[in-house]
A and B are shown apart, each in its own frame.
Chain A
Amino acid sequence: MQLPCGTFSTTYEFDKAIIKTRAHWIVLALAITLAFAFPTFSHPYLIHVVNFVFISIIAALGLNILSGCAGQISIGHSAFMAVGGYTSAVITYTLGASFWLALPCAIVAAGLVGLIFGLPSLRLKGFYLLLSTLAAQFIIVYIVAHLDITGGLAGIDVPYAQLGNIVFNTDKSFYYIILVVLILATFCARNLVRSKVGRAFIAVRDNDLVAEVMGVSLFRYKLLAFFIGCCYAGAAGSLWAHWHGYVCPEQFSLMMSVWLLGYIIIGGMGTTVGPFLGTILVLGLTEGLSTLVTGLGTTYPHLLDIIAPLKDLIFGIMLALFLILEPRGLAHRWYMMKSWYSLFPFSY
């Protein structure tokens, strides 16, 4: 717990506050203003990328609560996004309701399906649980690919969100919806970890038998973790569906689940800032390398055969290097930076 020089906790209220100094408030206000102003000055393609990054962060925040905080590792998280996406799609397309009703329904539906697939966690731990959540990935995607109501393999069109006369049918307009959901999701996730529930989750992760002796019902809190984690996935899935304007089973692949886990591991499991850093790093790298390869490819067309495969190689090496040099995740580096800044100009 580092405070800036000259700042001291004098009350417990102050001690538990997340944002403690005026400088923090200013930085936060600036960051949010910048985020809202972003589409007005940005390149359209960049907005598209940022939309994808933000939706991934929402899903990763949920997975972080489930796997990072509560320690229930899941490799079927994109399947719960599928539940959210399809629920939202069916409610808006088939039943004709609005997006604003479909979003909460999608969140709850994904949470409830998460409860079912969370049941094995009462008996299984670690890698065994990982395998049982893999089942969720295949079962859910198989079901949506074979039901009539979900449009089978072709998927279904999803109407765009509408508010009065405004139709959110572009990257730029939908960006604002994603941003608001992201801010709310972050707010809730950060508050959760400093509450009784968050502490119970971490207790279950660190030492489940003792947690039970201390009064934490494993049944309740493991399932609660699944519910919350999958609610986040549901929100991400619903946003995803309405952003693209359609859903199909292929969008919710196993690779995506693996990457969501990758984001939180690279970012730092169990920290709220981790999903942000991990997702931005991985997707930023992917996009950066793609842009680089395309650029090089147009300048030196004869080298494209060599450069294109190199992209994946470099990507892999960079990720491996990150994990070796920062095994506790980028969040650890972030905290070190923060404490350096707090104590500046002294070294400790």
Chain B
Amino acid sequence: MKLTLAWLKEHLETSASIDDLAQALTRIGLEVEDVHDPALAFKDFVVARVVTAAPHPNADRLKVCMVDTGRETIQVVCGAANARAGLIGVFAPAGSFVPGTAVQLKKTAIRGVESNGMLLSERELGLSEAHEGIVELAGAPTLGAPAAQALGRADPVIEIAITPNRGDCLGVRGIARDLAAAGLGRLKPLASKPVPGAYPSPIGVELEFPEAARAACPYFVGRHVRGLKNGESPDWLKKCLDAIGLRPISALVDITNFITCDLARPLHVFDSGQISGSIRARLARAGETLAALNGKTYALDGEMTVIADDRAALGLGGVIGGESSGATAATTEVFVESAWFDPARTAATGRKLGILSDARYRFERGVDPALVKDGIEIATRLILDLCGGEPSEIVVAGAAPAWRRTIVFRPERVRTLAGLDLAPAEIERILAALGFQVAREGHTLAVMPPSWRPDIAGEACLVEEVARIHGYDKIPAVPLPRASYLPRPALNEEQRRRGVARRALAGRGLVEAVTFSFLPAAQAALFGGGQDSLRLVNPISADLDSMRPSLLPNLIAAWARNAARGVADAALFEVGPQYAGAAPEDQSHTAAGIRAGAVAERSWAAPPRPVDAFDAKADALGLLALLEIPAERLQTFPAAPAWYHPGRSGVLGFGPKATLAAFGEIDPRVLKALDVKGPVVGFEVFLDAIPGPKEGRGSARSLLKLSPFQPLSRDFAFVADAGVAAESLVRAALAADKKLIVEAFVFDVFSGTGLPAGKKSVAIGVVLQPTERTLTDAEIAEVEGRIVAAVGRATGATLRA
């Protein structure tokens, strides 16, 4: 919403400065986005008179002028044909900046004659392209006065962001009213005296809505005006519209635009010569179209309100007028419409057709229902003033929608809700200044909001009105009382784990990325997603149209973008949501990471090693360990999801169903589909699957019993079938004596030389920890025997000869 200071002052009697007004507007909720003072560009220029204009001694087309700037008379060389003694124009002294030509003026000599500045043309002032001569100011402006004033360019333009609840402030008057309430001046009375009609309107008005749609347009007031002349608007009106960025068109159109912006009261003027029969407000008919004023033709549907004559639609009620019946230069008689259109239907229509007009903008926010009739009177008066003519009596259909309601208001709510201790009289003053009718009823107030404030719904709204006008800055800050002195963690266990996961993975050398929750459907499909229920109806682009089923594809894509910039290898992770479906329970949190290229940067110390599945396994296990799931509790199963390499991936879990993580090389076919260079390994730790700490265990740990006896290590080399999982040997060995054996681990694996085909050698180390005494050789041999037997039973492996 734009307005000028002078326009504001048509409604507000004030001596406040533009800065004070702007600050007050922002404070009370009418946020000033910009104050543009056109005078700034002209601040160095003054009104000056050419005293003498003599021919230049060395140039035919130049003149040497003596110019009275109000302070001194100085010499200026001027090339304008109209430069002559007595002319009053705009003088730019040396040192000033000429906006139209972007030149910094200097004292100079032109063809040997000193020149101390410039007399400016409209083009040089940046006002227009006119450069036939220098500006000639009319009237008798004071010499030396600021030129902006004399040029009529001294009126600052204020731009305000109006919140959707304040339709009343989409007119200058509403803004003036708020300022007056805030103590910035006095609201002037609005002149809306009825204009007597000279004849009955030849055009009638009918509301033709089915019962269910009566609210679409409950009230329509019209008036015929004849014998008028639609010419150019007067300067004051053109300047008003110009200043707020509206192009003046013709007096009739300009009047409706002016009243729209002045009173937030959109109107429409039909050329009544183009109307056949009566004006009818009704729902559009199937197949009906409208050629609108903006040059486009719209197909209408039965939910839209049209203004029609006996033949066809002439306009979309509250949205836009039609081409055929618009006022033109030839128009001599008009029918003026002032109606009330339902905000919801107006919004829906505008949205469906993609029309954002000044009228729609106001109607969908609510136009003052009590100003329908006044609107037409004010418009009539302006038409008569600017275009002449003779008005008919007004025709009325329907009645203003009911707006009167009373809110019971406990004035102490200002203190208990806003924290502001105000005297009841001040509360009443503020409400009254905003147009509320306030009556005392015992300890409460009966408050009737004004017709232009449909947004006021209850006590809280009234508290806001009082608090914002009094000033939020005057509310004393009061610390929130502490709920408890026990330290209460802000995070629950799942949230804490996500934080640990981030810091743990960053500590392992992976860089955290935050990637979009969406990705191309084809990529989603590669990772088990892409179903229709997770496809956005209105994606921002085709490659961001599906909710991600996994964090990996976006991380792989991130690696690809970095690789394209010449990065040789990368380690990235993300902790965030993934979506198995659209229901709330289908969203889960995952920590996922990838490593690509070499394990580490190139180094003198070791040859580069490409990443492999065990790097990803280490990341998954390392993270799980920091989440208090030790590796010993986990088993590895070779059944990772389809986006992993079928032979180089696995899942980690307490059992085949209770999986906590997946890891492995990304399937080369997936990488190819993503157009990414391998190898890339990845892992996914399903954070929501991790069991929480057991309840009720308390903080105490179990008692630590340390053995005084040395542990002893024994190594075994087994030969097993190539398909036997190394982990099964270790588990069998551990199970051979659960008391004595504290550790078992694989330390060597090989196949080939010296071994039959289809066999492999797996060497495991076992640590025995006696607790009561040192073991005898016989006891040790007995345990060794049990280990070999247990491994043999479980895996078919035999001790290597």
Please determine whether chains A and B interact with each other in the same assembly. no
